[in-house]
């Protein structure tokens, strides 16, 4: 390849260094069928580049690199070569496809694309999805149709720059988010518009304040965000439920969907959340935030822990259902069956059993 680079550089001039040729090869191997955005009828085939040089230009050692008409259909004009240099660093094809679709659809700058790749957006969105849903995410990008689609766990707020400040309070985090509102909206996802900060709700003379109020134009609903330092409590969920009910009854118009409430906390107990909220709950959500970009190893370890926990819950649920469906005499719980012992023999005449009252 070094000899090829030398010959091309001597004939056509700049742009054909060894590093450039390696990137060209990597680009072709990563996108042999063109962009993930191109339709099924257009995206078949390999990337074609045409190299043209006039006689005078060839003598001077310069050339013009241009896309052929077919090649121009293979990649969106909204993404520059700098975007694709970032995408080439994404090793998994499904993740690379997702980031390409979202970058083009949301008009991400190169810096925004780098941030989302570094924050492992694809992995966080795919965290609680089935393999079929993950494949759909890679093929179509993020689709916002139900409240849970806006949830990421965790939200990454590294831009707030509060990691080295253990004395930071909720108002400090809120102020940092307001100061970097553009970054926070990027982390929240698509369709969000800022509405208010410290929105006051008054009920018979008592005042309550919602930290942040957004509106999602795709879901057509208000999205309330409450920030909590430390571990999530059931009181926090109850407070958010009250905020959501207030907006649904006094702020929401008839054509709008029901309000969504998100409690962002630094730590949460998933079992407590499931017990506190009803089974059919879709309005009050809880998610963690962290002040640093997670590594892929950290996120993979967390996904593995959650998978094991979900499998454990499914096994327990299946065991309970099997016990309920067993015909005949009702079975005692497993713990009771394990502790069951044969009855003790009757005491001899004239002896008093332990714990028996004296005559």
Domains and CATH numbers, the chain: 1-75 (no CATH), 147-293 (3.40.1350.10)
pTM: 0.58
Token digits of residue 276: 């506190």
How far apart are alpha carbons 292 and 125 in whole angstroms? Answer: 17
CA distances to 36, 39, 160 from 73, rounded to whole Å, are 12, 10, 40
User: In 293-305, which positions are buried (b, 16+ CB within 10 angstroms) versus exposed (e)?
Assistant: ebeeeebeebeee
CA dihedral angle for residue 186, residue 188, residue 193, residue 198, rounded to 10 degrees: -120
- pLDDT tens per residue across all 359 residues of the chain: 888 888 888 888 888 888 888 888 899 888 888 888 764 333 333 333 333 333 343 333 333 334 444 444 578 788 998 999 999 999 899 999 999 999 998 889 999 899 888 888 888 888 767 778 788 888 888 777 777 777 776 777 767 766 545 556 778 888 888 888 888 888 888 889 999 999 999 998 899 999 999 999 999 999 999 998 888 999 999 999 999 999 999 999 999 999 999 999 888 888 898 899 988 888 999 988 877 666 667 666 766 676 676 667 667 766 666 666 665 554 445 444 444 455 555 555 554 444 444 44
Question: Do 332 and 340 touch, CB atoms closer than 8 A?
Answer: yes
Angle between helices 2-12 and 18-30 (to 10 degrees): 110
Q: Which tokens belong to 67?
A: 């896309």
- Locate the DSSP E strands across the chain: 49-52, 64-67, 155-156, 192-203, 206-216, 221-231, 260-267, 284-290
């Amino acid at each position: 390849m070094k000899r090829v680079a030398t010959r091309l550089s001597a004939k056509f001039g700049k742009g054909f260094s060894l590093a450039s040729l390696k990137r060209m090869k990597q680009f072709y191997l990563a996108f042999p069928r063109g962009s993930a955005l191109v339709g099924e009828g257009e995206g078949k085939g390999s990337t074609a580049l045409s190299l043209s040089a006039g006689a005078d230009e060839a003598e001077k050692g310069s050339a013009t690199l241009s896309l052929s008409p077919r090649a121009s259909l293979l990649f969106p004009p909204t993404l520059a070569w700098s975007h694709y240099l970032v995408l080439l660093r994404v090793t998994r094809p499904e993740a690379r496809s997702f980031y390409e679709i979202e970058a083009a659809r949301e008009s991400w700058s190169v810096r925004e694309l780098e941030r989302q790749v570094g924050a492992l957006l694809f992995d966080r969105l795919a965290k609680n999805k089935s393999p079929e849903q993950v494949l759909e995410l890679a093929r179509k990008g993020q689709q916002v149709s139900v409240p849970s689609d806006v949830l990421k766990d965790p939200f990454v707020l590294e831009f707030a720059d509060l990691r080295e400040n253990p004395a930071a309070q909720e108002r400090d985090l809120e102020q940092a988010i307001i100061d970097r509102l553009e970054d926070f909206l990027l982390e929240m996802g698509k369709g969000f518009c800022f509405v208010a900060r410290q929105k006051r709700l008054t009920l018979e003379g008592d005042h309550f304040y919602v930290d942040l109020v957004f509106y999602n134009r795709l879901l057509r609903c208000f999205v309330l965000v409450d920030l909590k330092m430390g571990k999530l409590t059931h009181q926090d969920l109850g407070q958010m439920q009250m905020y959501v009910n207030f907006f649904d009854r006094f702020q929401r118009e008839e054509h709008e969907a029901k309000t969504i409430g998100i409690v962002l906390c630094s730590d949460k107990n998933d079992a407590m959340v499931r017990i506190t909220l009803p089974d059919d709950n879709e309005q009050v959500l809880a998610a963690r935030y962290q002040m640093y970009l997670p590594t892929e190893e950290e996120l993979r370890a967390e996904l593995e822990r959650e998978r094991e926990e979900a499998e454990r819950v499914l096994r327990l649920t299946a065991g309970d259902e099997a016990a309920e469906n067993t015909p005949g005499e009702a079975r005692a719980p497993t713990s009771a069956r394990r502790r069951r012992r044969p009855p003790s023999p009757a005491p001899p005449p004239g002896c008093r059993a332990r714990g028996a009252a004296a005559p």
